[in-house]
Structure 1
Amino acid sequence: MPRIVVDVMPKPEILDPQGKAIAGALPRLGLTGFAEVRQGKRFELTVEGEVTEAVLEQARTAAITLLSNPVIEDVTRVEVIEDVQ
């Protein structure tokens, strides 16, 4: 079955304490060279049948109204991904 991926990230002006904690832990693990980390959310919506433009529009609506908080988050991606078996 096809899937639609929705990525949601905090808006740039919103503090991201989880991202800061990850950024602080990376050098302690010997992983250097990263200036900043932002943590977001990923949703996968499995679609019954074909992904039409109407289905994609419903996914966009769900992303804006249910999957994200538009006050502090941006929807950065809504796209169909190949089903890997």
Structure 2
Amino acid sequence: MKARVTVMLKAGVLDVQGEAVRHALGSLGFAGVNGVRQGKVIELDLAETDAAAAKTAVDAMCDKLLANAVIESYRVEIL
């Protein structure tokens, strides 16, 4: 079973990388980009066959390692 985790900075947390990308896009002539939020996508290949158990396990992985709960939020998709 596969899982995809999308991790993003929480609203209100300054996204320095996103701002750098926004600025670079403007410099390249892409006008009208008012904001950029940058995150990360993590794909996991799991041995688990039960979707609910896989989601529980991936949530635990996010809480312990994959996301910083203080400044990041995450979304888990079981594929």
TM band (smaller chain):
0.7 to 0.9
1:43 is paired with a residue whose SS is strand
Q: Which position in structure 1 is the counterpart of 2:38? A: 39
Give 1:51 deviation, angstroms: 4.3
Deviation digits for residues 19-60 of structure 1, max 9, x if unmatched? Answer: 100000112222222210011111111122524211111111
2:36 partner SS: coil
Q: Give the match for residue 3 of structure 2.
A: 4
- The alignment partner of 1:24 has SS state of helix
Amino acid at match of 2:31: T
Q: 3-state SS of the aligned residue for 2:19?
A: helix
Q: Match of 1:6, SS?
A: strand
Q: Select which of 75, 78, 84 maps to 2:76.
A: 78
1:25 and 2:16 aligned: no
Computed over aligned residues only, the root mean square deviation of the Cα atoms, in angstroms, reads: 1.5
Unaligned 5+ segments in structure 2 are none
Give identity over the alignment, percent: 39
Q: TM-score scaled by structure 1?
A: 0.81
